[in-house]
Each structure stands twice: as structure tokens, then as C-alpha cells.
């Protein structure tokens, strides 16, 4: 029996995808999960293209000769497309797209400004849809590729205090499930990453609970790299989160609500400290002054200048 297990493990190890030379584009790659993932992939030998609105925070990426950065607002569809065009012309055909960029402003839905609602939908969902469309159009004709969409546990469970965020992440999960079905048998893989609360700036001022224990950006990055090496659809971080979701889906709604209340999970986002989150939330919805930096013309200028390394 042990020999059979070891043999199966060996076969899985032999089928792990080598990452050297693989071309990966990551949105929101200058900090948090995106930066940790870019670092891990570059260390493994991948060629990594980072798109972010605020590249100055990602200066450390210049340490990797196989990492390049573009300053782009991925909610601008033309700019996102131009970014991917430039990645392919500069680095080679796109092998992996990681749709990671996202924001999480918190507060009761009835008190949420329209601009905050719109920005979340544009960045957390519309940009993921557009990026996935562009990736499919490039990858499917080649018969290979991998789309990795970073969602959240909030894409499986609704949390008070984050209604719009939950709506966008539920949308990403649904998009990923549908896209997986559409691409079955084409050679293009789809993964959906669903972490619990992650210790990044996005989680500033949050509490915790037995069911919502924060993980690090590095843990999520390791899970993403693992999924790129051996494609699978559902990527939970931590892994046991998948079992929790299945349990909550199986038990009656009233019992699931009781479990959420007893564990304190229902207050993790609703009970966030507004003062502690003020700085992050002010940056989460940028001024329109960034638009000139994110335009297709500006991207063309970046490429002419050598695709400004981050």
C-alpha cells in the first residue's frame, strides 16, 4: 500500500509544470498577495509582468531580472488590453494570467457612497471579466494557458459590512466556474483562489474568529504557485476552508447562521475598526488623476522607454 501511495505521489511530482520561461501577467502585483506571488514565480524562473496603478510601492521587483512592471488601471479595458499586448510583444505569448487586483472598502451598504460601490464592481469584477476574455482570446487558439482568478471566502459566504465586496467576489467565483465549463477540453485551465482574511493592508483593523483565522500573503502566493504548477480549479487557503464551505452548504440556513454567530465569523468584517482602516480606504478609491498614467497612450510610452521596470 505504501508503495502504491509513494508511486502515485511520484507520478504527481513528475507531472508538476516547470515554471522556467513561463510568461505570467499579474494584476495588482506591487504589494500583498500580488507581490508575494510575483516574487515566488520569478524565483522559480518564470517571466513575470506586473500591472498596478501604484508601481512605486513595488521597487523591490527590480531585483528580479525576469520581472517587469507596467503602471496601468485595469478598470480601463483598453489599457488592460494594451498591457497584455505589450507583455506578449516584450516577453512572449502569455501562458498565465493572474487576475488579482481588488479592493475591500467596508461599511453598511446603505451608507456606502456610489463611487465606492462603482469602483469595487469595476476593479473586483469587471476587470476580472475583461482580463479573462482577453486571456481566452489569446490562449484558446494556441490550445494552452491558465487563467487564475483571485476571489475570496467572501465569494462563498456573505459577510455583513462587506455587501458589495461579497457580491463582486461571488461574481468572480461564478465567472470562474462558468469559464471552466466553457474551456473544458481546450487545453486552457481555470483556477479560482479563495483565501480567508489575508494579513495585508486590505485587512487592516479587522478582528478574528475560530473560523476566520488570517493567513499571510506568502501562504496565498504558495497556493497560487502550486496551482500554476499543477492546475486545479478550487484553491482554498487554508485548505480546510473548503470543508467548512461544504458544511455550511449542507446544514440548514438557520444552523449555519448559528455557527457563524457562535464563532464570531459574522462580525469579522462588520466589526472592523474604521479609524484603523481610514488610510487604506482613502487609497482604495483613487482620484481620477491616475487616468492619464493608465491610458493606452501612456502604456505605449512606457514600452517605448523599455517597459519601465518596477
- What is the set of active-site residues? 165
C-alpha cell at 29: 502585483
Given a contact cutoff of 8 angstroms between Cβ atoms, the answer to whether 233 and 191 are in contact is yes
Cα gap 43→64, rounded to integer Å: 8
Which own/partner contact pairs does 226-230 have at CB distance under 8 Å and 24+ positions apart? 227/148, 227/191, 227/193, 228/17, 228/19, 228/22, 228/24, 228/41, 228/96, 228/146, 228/148, 228/191, 229/16, 229/17, 229/19, 230/12, 230/15, 230/16, 230/17
Cα gap 153→236, rounded to integer Å: 8
Q: What Å distances lie between residue 250 and 94, 167, 246, 247, 253, CA to CA? A: 39, 21, 6, 5, 9
Cα gap 185→200, rounded to integer Å: 37
Cα gap 276→217, rounded to integer Å: 20
Cα gap 16→101, rounded to integer Å: 27
Cα gap 310→305, rounded to integer Å: 13
Longest Cα separation, the chain: 63
Strands 234-237 and 96-99: unpaired
For 123, residues 6+ apart whose C-beta sits below 8 A from its C-beta are 74, 75, 101, 102, 103
Neighbours of 279 (CB within 10 A): 12
Beta-carbon-side half-sphere exposure of residue 230 (alpha carbons within 13 Å): 11
**Eight-class DSSP state of 207:** -
Amino acid at each position: 500500500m505504501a508503495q502504491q501511495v509513494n508511486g502515485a505521489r511520484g507520478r504527481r511530482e513528475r507531472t508538476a509544470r516547470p515554471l522556467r520561461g513561463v510568461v505570467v501577467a499579474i494584476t495588482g502585483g506591487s504589494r500583498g498577495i500580488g507581490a508575494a506571488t510575483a516574487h515566488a514565480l520569478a524565483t522559480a524562473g518564470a517571466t513575470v509582468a506586473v500591472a498596478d496603478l501604484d508601481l512605486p510601492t513595488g521597487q523591490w521587483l527590480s531585483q528580479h531580472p525576469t520581472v517587469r512592471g507596467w503602471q496601468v488601471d485595469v478598470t480601463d479595458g483598453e489599457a488592460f488590453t494594451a498591457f497584455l499586448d505589450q507583455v506578449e510583444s516584450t516577453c512572449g505569448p502569455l501562458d498565465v494570467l493572474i487576475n488579482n487586483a481588488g479592493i475591500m472598502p467596508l461599511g453598511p451598504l446603505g451608507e456606502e457612497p456610489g463611487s465606492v460601490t462603482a469602483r469595487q464592481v469595476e476593479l473586483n469584477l469587471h476587470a476580472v471579466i475583461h482580463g479573462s476574455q482577453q486571456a481566452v482570446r489569446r490562449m484558446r487558439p494556441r490550445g494552452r494557458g491558465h487563467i487564475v482568478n483571485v476571489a475570496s471566502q467572501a465569494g462563498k459566504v456573505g459577510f455583513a459590512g462587506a455587501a458589495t465586496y461579497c457580491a463582486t467576489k461571488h461574481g468572480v467565483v461564478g465567472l470562474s466556474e462558468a469559464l471552466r465549463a466553457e474551456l473544458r477540453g481546450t487545453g486552457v485551465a481555470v483556477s479560482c483562489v479563495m483565501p480567508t482574511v489575508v494579513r495585508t493592508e486590505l485587512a487592516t483593523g479587522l478582528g478574528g474568529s475560530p473560523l476566520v483565522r488570517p493567513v499571510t500573503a506568502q501562504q496565498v502566493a504558495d497556493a497560487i504557485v502550486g496551482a500554476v504548477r499543477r492546475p486545479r480549479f478550487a484553491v482554498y487557503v487554508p485548505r480546510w476552508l473548503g470543508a467548512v464551505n461544504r458544511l455550511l452548504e449542507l446544514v440548514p440556513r438557520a444552523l449555519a447562521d448559528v455557527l457563524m454567530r457562535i464563532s464570531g465569523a459574522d462580525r469579522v468584517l462588520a466589526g472592523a475598526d474604521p479609524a484603523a482602516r481610514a488610510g487604506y480606504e482613502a487609497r482604495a478609491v483613487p482620484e481620477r488623476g491616475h487616468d492619464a498614467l493608465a491610458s493606452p497612450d501612456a502604456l505605449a510610452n512606457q514600452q517605448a522607454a523599455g517597459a519601465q521596470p518596477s
